[in-house]
C-alpha cells in the first residue's frame, strides 16, 4: 500500500482531533484511532504496542483530568461534591444539547451546562444562591482548564504520531 493514504489519515485525524477537543467532542480518541489506523495500514512498522498504549493512556488521562477539574474547581469555589457531579453531568448534557448549533454550540452548551448543573445541585444542598453561583463559576473555570490540558495532551499525541510517521 502506498504510504500516502496512511499519512493523510494520520494527519487528518490529528488536525480534526485537535479542533474537536475545545468543542467538547472526543478529539483525543479520534487521534488515537488515527495512530492506530496508521499503524495498521503500515503493518505496524513504526507503531507498536508501546506507542498505542502511550497515546491511549494520554487520551484516558485527558478524560480523567476533565472529570477531576470539574469536581475540584467546583469544590474550590465553595461547592460540595454534589456540585462536582452537577458540573460533570450538566457539561455532558449541555454539550449534547448544543450540538445542533454549528461549531460553537457544543462548547457553549458544555460551559452553560457545567455552570447550571453545579449551581443547581449546590443550591439543592445549601439553599444559598451565592454559594451555588460561586460553585457554578468554579465549574466553568474547571471546564476551561480541562479543555486547555486536553489540547496540550492532543498536541503530545500529534507529535507522537508525526514521530512515528517520520520513523517509517
Domain boundaries in the chain? 4-167
**pLDDT at 1 (0 to 100):** 53
- pLDDT over 90 at 36, yes or no: yes
At 128, is the pLDDT very low, low, confident or very high (cuts 50, 70, 90)? Answer: confident
- pLDDT over 80 at 136, yes or no: yes
Kindly state the cell numbers that stand for 113. Answer: 451546562
Q: Find all residues with CB under 8 Å of 27, minimum gap 6, and list them.
A: 16, 17, 18, 19, 20, 21, 150, 154
Q: Find all residues with CB under 8 Å of 93, minimum gap 6, and list them.
A: 113, 117
Helix, strand, coil % in the chain, rounded to nearest 5: 85, 0, 15
State pLDDT tens for residues 41-83.
888 888 889 999 999 999 999 989 988 887 788 888 888 888 8
Average pLDDT over residues 100-126: 85
Amino acid at each position: 500500500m502506498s504510504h500516502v493514504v496512511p499519512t493523510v489519515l494520520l494527519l487528518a485525524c490529528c488536525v480534526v482531533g485537535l479542533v474537536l477537543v475545545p468543542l467538547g467532542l472526543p478529539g483525543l480518541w479520534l487521534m488515537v484511532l488515527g495512530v492506530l489506523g496508521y499503524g495498521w495500514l503500515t503493518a505496524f512498522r513504526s507503531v507498536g504496542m508501546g506507542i498505542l498504549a502511550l497515546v491511549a493512556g494520554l487520551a484516558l488521562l485527558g478524560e480523567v483530568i476533565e472529570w477531576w477539574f470539574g469536581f475540584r474547581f467546583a469544590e474550590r469555589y465553595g461547592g460540595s461534591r454534589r456540585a462536582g457531579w452537577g458540573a460533570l453531568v450538566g457539561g455532558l448534557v449541555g454539550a449534547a444539547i448544543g450540538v445542533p448549533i454549528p461549531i460553537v454550540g457544543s462548547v457553549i452548551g458544555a460551559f452553560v451546562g457545567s455552570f447550571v448543573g453545579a449551581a443547581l445541585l449546590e443550591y439543592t444542598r445549601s439553599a444559598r444562591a451565592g454559594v451555588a453561583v460561586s460553585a457554578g463559576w468554579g465549574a466553568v473555570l474547571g471546564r476551561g482548564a480541562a479543555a486547555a490540558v486536553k489540547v496540550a495532551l492532543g498536541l503530545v499525541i500529534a507529535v507522537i504520531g508525526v514521530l512515528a510517521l517520520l520513523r517509517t
